[in-house]
Amino acid sequence: MKLLIKHTILNNNLVDLLIENGVITSIAPEIMEDDAQIFDAKHHTILPGLVDVHVHFRDPGLTYKETIATGSKAAAHGGFTSVLAMPNVRPAIDNPEVLKEQLERNKKKSLINIYQFAAISSNLIAYKTSDIEKMAKLGAIGFTNDGHGVQDAETMYQAMLQAKLVNKPISAHVEDDSLINGGVMNAGSAADKLCLPGMNPLSEASQLARDLVLAKASGVHYHVAHISTKESVDLLRIAKKEGVNVTAEVSPHHLLLDDEMIEMDNPMMKMNPPLRTPTDRKALIGGLLDGTIDMIATDHAPHSEKEKSGSMLTSAFGIVGLETAFSLIYTNFVKSGLVDMQTLINWMSKNPAQKFNINAGVIKVGSPADLTIMNLVHPYKIDAKNFLSKGKNSPFIGEKVYGKTMATFVAGKLVYQNGGNY
């Protein structure tokens, strides 16, 4: 099987790429190959396939929200070729038997590469750790109770020690439940104005401080999921200076939205962690720019229309992200002149791949042909009708952005192609 991608822009040069058996075998200004299938990229830009270390695919058990098939289609549409799936499906991926089935299910139903997280503890809430050693051996990419903070230090510390032994990361949703008070958005003046109950933002950094102490003692690779407050960024910066083996992700919505933009009770602005203050948002951008935060992850959290309608008091936490992340980050960070394209690639492909030990993130001879081709020239409007995800719950609907996916390839196989004109 040979594929020849013609006329594509790679690092500002017009090139062709030859792919044989799923691997890039040649990159040159002009490649002639008689027996290859041709894909004409029509002068659009080629990037390494994006890597998202935080998605929720809801399969099995909550497939009315998303399935592996629809989630992986959404990923391919967004330019993502590898994702790390969270274990909060039903049943939760918290024991070796269930993990084994899930790995097979992912393989069978997915268009893209899915790496699977397993739970730190039973049903994501128990105070006794899961069989981390066995699940690591079976192929879990790491361990997390995402959706819940690990409420006690002993469970987290034991999980870290076991994960360290098998050389796997812990991804932490840091949230101390005792500070949440049934809140539905960030506690503060914005919540007061809307008369909505607030979640104390110290819930995040206070648990993070505990975890950083434990992470340092254990030596584990500790990864902070969806970091959202200034205090957390400050702690992370200190921990990195001290040599703690820590990484962090931030979501596009925490970079681009804050609680002052919640003008009315709107379920599309409800997610966990909640949108924080403009000061927090600035600190997240600063942390990303100075390398304190390593990568961007979407926390793609599809829900049904019904679950995301009505009031923030009763609707579900979470928004979709796979089909808007690249466009939003490209438009707001690269097109606006803040950073160059390689920096975006580092945030959305190279760093997540490197930090989670995935063979992805660079385009070079010998690399797997996990690629995406983006139209950076023509703007478009984000429209939920075009989402391939079952979830239409995005606060970014109607926004004019740049960076439309033209095609996505996984191991040289076309997994998404834009139906319209280039």
Catalytic residues: 299
Both structure tokens of 398: 């109607």
Give the residue with the Cβ less far from ligand NCD, 254 or 350.
254
**Torsion sign over Cα 68, 312, 293, 77:** positive
Q: Which of 94, 146, 176, 294 binds Zn ion (CB under 5 A)?
A: 146
Q: Which residues contact ligand NCD (rule: CB under 6 A)?
A: 56, 88, 146-147, 173, 271-272, 299, 301, 317-318
Nearest by Cα to 348 from 251, 242, 422, 211:
251
Both structure tokens of 78: 């967004």
Which region among 18-26, 96-104, 138-146, 213-221 touches Zn ion (by CB under 5 A)? 138-146
Instruction: Give min distance, CB of 104 to Zn ion, in A.
Output: 23
Is 113 annotated in a binding site? The answer is: no
Give the residue with the Cβ less far from ligand NCD, 52 or 299.
299
Is 57 annotated in a binding site? The answer is: yes
Is 318 annotated in a binding site? The answer is: yes
Instruction: Give min distance, CB of 56 to ligand NCD, in A.
Output: 4
Both structure tokens of 371: 């690629």
Instruction: Give min distance, CB of 316 to ligand NCD, in A.
Output: 6
Long-range contacts of residues 352-355, Cβ cutoff 8 Å, at least 24 apart: 352/51, 352/52, 352/53, 352/249, 352/294, 352/295, 352/297, 353/51, 353/82, 355/53, 355/169, 355/221, 355/223, 355/247, 355/294, 355/295
Is 266 annotated in a binding site? The answer is: no
Lookup result for tokens 């984000």: 382
Is 299 a binder of Zn ion (CB under 5 A)? yes
Q: For 299, what's the count of Cα atoms within 13 Å in the CB-facing half-sphere?
A: 29
317 binds, among Zn ion, ligand NCD, none (CB under 5 to 8 A by kind): ligand NCD
Q: Which residue is nearest to Zn ion (CB)?
A: 173
In contact, 320 and 56? CB cutoff 8 Å: no
Give the residue with the Cβ less far from ligand NCD, 249 or 370.
249
Is 54 annotated in a binding site? The answer is: yes
Which region among 66-74, 171-179, 385-393, 408-416 touches Zn ion (by CB under 5 A)? 171-179
Which region among 10-18, 141-149, 209-217, 253-261 touches Zn ion (by CB under 5 A)? 141-149
Give the residue with the Cβ less far from ligand NCD, 273 or 361.
273
Q: What is the distance between the alpha carbons of residues 169 and 245, in angstroms, rounded to a whole number?
A: 10
Is 303 annotated in a binding site? The answer is: yes
In contact, 223 and 249? CB cutoff 8 Å: yes
In contact, 199 and 315? CB cutoff 8 Å: no
88 binds, among ligand NCD, Zn ion, none (CB under 5 to 8 A by kind): ligand NCD
Beta-carbon contacts of 411 under 8 Å, excluding residues fewer than 6 positions away, are: 22, 23, 368, 369, 370
Q: Which residues bind Zn ion (CB under 5 A)?
A: 146, 173, 299
Q: Which residues belong to the annotated binding site?
A: 54, 56-58, 88, 146, 173, 226, 272, 299, 303, 317-318
Q: Which residues belong to the annotated binding site for substrate?
A: 56-58, 88, 272, 303, 317-318
